[in-house]
Structure 1
Amino acid sequence: MTVKTMSFQVLTERYNQFVLITDRVERAVAESGVKDGMVTVLSMHTTTGIAVNESLECLESDLEQFLARLVPEDRPYAHARMLKDYGSTAGNPTGHLKSHITGNHCHFFIENGKMVRGGAQDIYFCEFDGPSQRTIRVQIVG
C-alpha cells in the first residue's frame, strides 16, 4: 500500500468565499503515482469547509445566501464572548456553524490514476472567517 500526504495553502480575500481547488487536488493525485485507491481532502481549520458541488457562480451565490439565512451574523451567539485562552473576543461563531454545516472533508475514488467524480462535481474550499491564509491537506492511499 502507498500513502502520499501533502498540503497546500489558499489565501482567501473575503470573509465568506468559495474557492475551487479541484485542479490542485487532481494534480496531487497525478503526481502521487497512485493508480487505484482513494483521495481525502481535509481543511485544517474550524471556520472553513470542504464541499463538493457544481462550479457555477449563480450556485455559489445561492449557497452563500442559503448559509447566511441559516446562520445570520446578527444573532446573540454564545461563542461571541471573551475567551480567556485566546485573550480576545471570539468574533467568528458564524464561521464555526457554517463549517459544521458544510463539513471539513471529502473523499473520491482513484481509478487508473485519475480522480473519479461526476461531470458536475468540483471541490470547493469554503472560507467563513477570512481573509486568511489556510491549509488544506490531501492524502492519497492506493
Structure 2
Amino acid sequence: MVEVYEFTILTDTYNKLVVITDEVHKALAKSKIKNGQVTVISKHTTTGVMVNEALECLEWDITEFLERLVPEEHPYAHARMLADYGSTAGNPTGHLKSLVVGNHCHLLIVDGELDKGGAQEVYFCEFDGPAERTIKIQIMGE
C-alpha cells in the first residue's frame, strides 16, 4: 500500500532550518501502514530535507558549515540574467546547499511507529526564502 500526504510551510528568512518531524508523525498516524518506510521530499530545488539532532548549537554549526562551503560572495555562473526566465538568477547558493544536504530522507516504520534514533529529527531546510514551500510525505508498506 502507498499513501501520499502533502503540506506547505511558509518560511520567513533566506536560510532556515525547520523541524518537521511532527508533520511526519501526523501523516503516519493518518495512514493505515504499520510496517514499511516513509519518504519525505521537498518539491523545490533550493531547499533540502535532512535528519539530525534538534539542538540550537548544532543548527548554528550546520548553517555556518554550509555558508563556509557555499559562500554568498562568489562569482557563480548562475548569478546572471537568464533569458528563459526573464529575470536574474540570484539563488546559486540555494541550489548548491540543496545539492549538499539533499532533498529527501527515508525512515523506517516498525509496528506503526517511526523507527528512528531518540535524538533524530526531520528538518526542512530553506536556502532561498522567504517562500511558501511544499513537502510531500510518501508512506509505503503494509
- Unaligned runs of 5+ residues in structure 2 are none
Q: Give the equivalent residue in structure 2 for 1:122.
A: 121
Question: 1:76 Cα deviation (Å)?
Answer: 0.2
Aligned to 1:28: 27
Q: Do residues 40 (structure 1) and 39 (structure 2) align?
A: yes
Q: Which AA in structure 1 matches 2:73?
A: D
Distance 1:83 1:121 in 2: 40
- SS state at 1:101 partner: helix
Equivalent position of 1:97 in the other structure: 96
- Give the structure 2 partner of residue 107 of structure 1: 106
Superposition CA RMSD, Å: 0.5
AA paired with 1:61?
Answer: W
Question: Deviations along 1:25-67, whole A, 9 cap, x unmatched?
Answer: 0110111110001100000000000010000001000110010
Shift of 1:77: 0.1
Amino acid at match of 1:14: T
Determine the structure 1 residue equivalent to 2:131: 132
Query: 2 CA distance for matches of 1:119 and 1:26?
Result: 14
State the Cα distance separating 1:9 from its structure 2 match.
0.3
Moved over 6 A (4+): none
Identity %: 63
Match of 2:59 in 1: 60
Name the CA distance, whole Å, in 1 between partners of 2:122 and 2:51.
Answer: 5
Aligned residue pairs, count: 141
> Normalized against structure 2, the TM-score is what?
0.98
Gaps of 5+ in 1: none
Equivalent-residue separation in structure 1 for 2:11 and 2:86 (angstroms)? 25
Q: What CA distance in whole angstroms lies between the structure 1 residues aligned with 2:28 and 2:39?
A: 10
Partner of 2:74 in structure 1? 75
TM-score, reference length from structure 1: 0.98
Give distance in 1, aligned partners of 2:28 and 2:109: 8
